[in-house]
A and B are shown apart, each in its own frame.
Chain A
């Protein structure tokens, strides 16, 4: 399988505290990679480094074998990141929220937005302001992006937060499908993932040394 994203000798220091160092990893097309570890070991920091939100790190990142720093826009076009905050405006409807997101990547296409919202079970909620929706539904609006922007690389920070049990299963299925179609997923979660595909795990916070291992 083709290599999608890889990192060499990654190290991150936050406020004089070494979070991790000498971290190497490779994510191939079709891989799902979980960043695991106790609180405060730098899971979110690592994800933000990978997404290009945190420039303070040592080491190098490669997208499809090319250094990310050489063409960051190419990397960003192929990245879909969902962070802690869903990135939803409460005063806008789900449709308007997604219309903005769509404008960042694709030409406007209302059918496509309705379709994405249907996929995350928000049919009928397209036109109501988001402040009337629940936290779980906000998450779902954010997750609808997965259908709007077909980026090969997904980086998801705690995607299961506030999602009900049935929803968790659906997202797991979605991740598995994405991997099957040749995409790559990197995520953090406290939830025990049950995926049909193999799950790679980066364990952070083990005696200051991190290593990649197969789970």
Chain B
């Protein structure tokens, strides 16, 4: 078991192998993403019961919550990939980490945007210093930092390593930031409405949410693989197999 894992791990390190295997995976993940997101959206928007307090405006959580979950997961994924690249000098891991950052930032932005849209009817303001939204905003800053650092280096290797360190530092900080923002929030304004922390959501409400979360993960996997494949082609363009691939496609 362990041996096959190690063998797999090493093969993942080969850009060519990664390119080929993900080429086969993408259609499956894409199909799953489309199916799950379609089902989840329809279910959540049309069939799930309206919230007894917030009415229909609560339905935005079917986008907001998956985006927020993804935003955090992607940061962790980016740090783990970066760490692997840093320790085992694995180029593919560097490329995965690099591809994560813009996707994560986009997800964070979606979470913030949907939060604002939800805030308008609920609080009557586009922006409220809600603990969750504030944490998201700081997460967005962290993403911007990683992206800015990546583009500041001339050498791709140094860029990958430096941003790996920054994302690892960020991962250590995220729980601390979350904790302190939560604490700060309860101190300053005990919010009457929270976007998600409701008392026991009924299954008709959280089932579509679950479907959406899984759908978002599949979507992330597809985009990540596509971005990484692009990155691989770009960086490995001098190698024979990429040359062969290019001439094949004409």
Contact = CB atoms under 8 A, between A and B. Distances in A.
Q: Do A and B come from one complex?
A: yes
Interface of A: 14-16, 56
A15 B235 CA distance: 10
Interface stretch (B38-46, B98-106, B151-159): B151-159
Interface in B143-177: 154-157
A135 B157 CA distance: 34
Interface residues on chain B, size class: under 10
B238 interface: yes
Contacts of A56: 157
5 contacts: A14-B155, A15-B154, A15-B156, A16-B235, A56-B157
Nearest to A14: B155
A15 B159 CA distance: 11
A56 B89 CA distance: 9
Contacts of B157: 56
Q: Which 3 A-B pairs have the closest CB atoms?
A: A15-B155, A56-B157, A16-B238
B64 to A, nearest CB: 42
Contacts of A15: 154-156
Nearest to B237: A16
Contacts of A14: 155
Nearest to A13: B157
A56 B155 CA distance: 12
A56 B154 CA distance: 15
Nearest to B154: A15
A56 B156 CA distance: 12
Nearest to A18: B238
Nearest to B155: A15
Interface in B115-161: 154-157
Contacts of B238: 16
A86 B8 CA distance: 47
Contacts of A16: 235, 238
Interface string B198-236: 000000000000000000000000000000000000010
Nearest to B156: A15
B87 to A, nearest CB: 12
Contacts of B156: 15
B246 to A, nearest CB: 17
A16 B235 CA distance: 8
A16 B236 CA distance: 9
B31 to A, nearest CB: 36
Contacts of B155: 14-15
Contacts of B235: 16
A15 B154 CA distance: 8
